[in-house]
Structure 1
């Protein structure tokens, strides 16, 4: 099964015949970079309305770059190839442009090296590389919202139940779920999780069965502290947060007992987790 390395909302744009003008299409879509079953890097454009793949390009290291169209009027980018004159145009469809630079930086990192260690939540002082082209483009005024689909995130009902307990215990934090810019990386931090493990030691045996089996440590608060401070943990949280923002997890969350809407964004996911925790709490009181 192909592994999704990166995913974000983006629509396609098309050059008007006989001109240098590129016109964005309003169709809701997503760009996915995957490591295919063939061992090669795939650049995929997926229609978020029909949930079908409409473009699947095989990329080789150092052959392509994803750069901003410098004279565009919006967030328009072009996928260029050094080995040919191919040009594929896209425009960013997330309502906020706050993460554009991160996505573009990671796309280009993967285009250079499919094993590139992606970086998230870091200050980016330089602007994204821009295409040297006379192409003019305009962006539709309305940004796209998410639709359902699937992404490569593996979780178990037990993990989901544990996360329910954790979010329930974070008094005051889950209330921020209605904020459109809420991020799991702002919630599942060492500063938040550390005190939680100290005050709820019963979470430790519940969490350890879902961690890598080759961890050279025994279950303990100290071991969990090491894990949540690790780059691997921060990357996993960022990847899950990113997958939720693409709106491609609707199919997955249904298998975990959550409504499909929970897979369409970070806010809906947190609300669904909280509602599930509230139901479990009420059921527990009813059976006491």
Structure 2
């Protein structure tokens, strides 16, 4: 099974004849970097409207770079170029928020050098335009693959169910979950699934330790305990996995996958629809339990 390491919204741009001008194609798209079943890194452009893969490039470590086109009139155009050929593929950012452009580009270039690395995400409040990047700026330091859970982008139904279990409980019984499901502004899963939000929930519902442990790494100490769960949700690996799932939801490409959780396809089109669908599902399940009491 292919493993998606990175994904974000981006459109394609095409060279105008034999000139040095490129024109943006308005089609909604997403760029994905995947470790394929063939063991090679795939650079994929997917149409977000049709969900079809229109471009699938196989890249070898160190052969390609993803760089900003400084001459771009609209400022957010990038080119994938190769050291082994004169190929050029142009793309432009389609997310309205440009604050994470450098973050995505940095992770692309790290993966183009070493497809096995763990993407590095900036910590909350970090502004790459005003602060010098360093080891302390990342939310999740690099770690070996044996220590890191699967990327949020190739999340299995079981992995999504783990997130669903936590968030739906927040939506059903906690004020922080209700607030998260009805945001006044755009939110992220990293704002919801924080240690500060989850610790009170674990303290009030210690039975969650028993319910969640089967979905967590097998090498955790036993028996299941609230203290172990608290260590998990505070770990850099958990934070990175939540950030990856958040980013995957923002691409709008998880509609098919969330249906395996009994959620409507719209729940895979963004963070807010995802949380609202979980809250509604939690309400229905709570109602079913009351009916059978």
**Aligning the two structures, in what range does the TM-score lie when normalised by the shorter sequence?**
0.7 to 0.9
Aligned-partner Cα distance in 1 for 2:156–2:207 = 24
**Structure 2 equivalent of residue 78 of structure 1:** 79
**Structure 2 equivalent of residue 116 of structure 1:** 117
Do structure 1's residue 168 and structure 2's residue 172 form an aligned pair?
yes
Pair 1:179–1:102, CA change in 2 (3 A): farther
Aligned-partner Cα distance in 2 for 1:125–1:49 = 32
**Structure 2 equivalent of residue 152 of structure 1:** 154
Per-residue deviation, 1:121: 3.1
Pair 1:18–1:97, CA change in 2 (3 A): same
**Structure 1 equivalent of residue 107 of structure 2:** 106
Pair 1:236–1:70, CA change in 2 (3 A): same
CA contact (8 A) 2:170 2:176 kept: no
Per-residue deviation, 1:276: 0.8
Aligned-partner Cα distance in 2 for 1:170–1:103 = 33
> Matches of residues 72-221 of structure 1 in structure 2 within 5 Å?
72-74=72-74, 75-122=76-123, 123-125=126-128, 152-156=154-158, 159=162, 160-177=164-181, 178-179=183-184, 181-221=186-226
**Structure 2 equivalent of residue 135 of structure 1:** none
**Structure 1 equivalent of residue 261 of structure 2:** 256
Equivalenced residues, count: 265
Structure with greater helix share of residues: 2
User: Alpha carbon RMSD of aligned pairs, Å?
Assistant: 1.8
**Structure 2 equivalent of residue 131 of structure 1:** none
Q: 2-11 or 118-127, which moves further after superposition?
A: 118-127
Per-residue deviation, 1:66: 0.8
CA contact (8 A) 1:9 1:31 kept: yes
Aligned-partner Cα distance in 2 for 1:109–1:37 = 20
Q: 66-75 or 213-222, which moves further after superposition?
A: 213-222
**Structure 2 equivalent of residue 227 of structure 1:** 232
**Structure 2 equivalent of residue 41 of structure 1:** 41
Q: In structure 2, list runs of 5 or more residues that go unmatched.
A: 131-152
Aligned-partner Cα distance in 1 for 2:249–2:41 = 22
Aligned-partner Cα distance in 2 for 1:158–1:106 = 27
CA contact (8 A) 1:101 1:124 kept: no
Aligned-partner Cα distance in 2 for 1:26–1:183 = 26
Q: 101-110 or 208-217, which moves further after superposition?
A: 208-217
Provide the secondary structure at the position in 2 that maps to 1:10: strand
**Relative contact order, CA 8 A, sep 6+: which one is greater?**
1
Per-residue deviation, 1:90: 0.3
Aligned-partner Cα distance in 1 for 2:165–2:27 = 36
Pair 1:174–1:111, CA change in 2 (3 A): farther
Question: What TM-score do you get using the length of structure 2 for normalisation?
Answer: 0.85
Per-residue deviation, 1:44: 0.6
Question: What TM-score do you get using the length of structure 1 for normalisation?
Answer: 0.86
Per-residue deviation, 1:218: 2.9
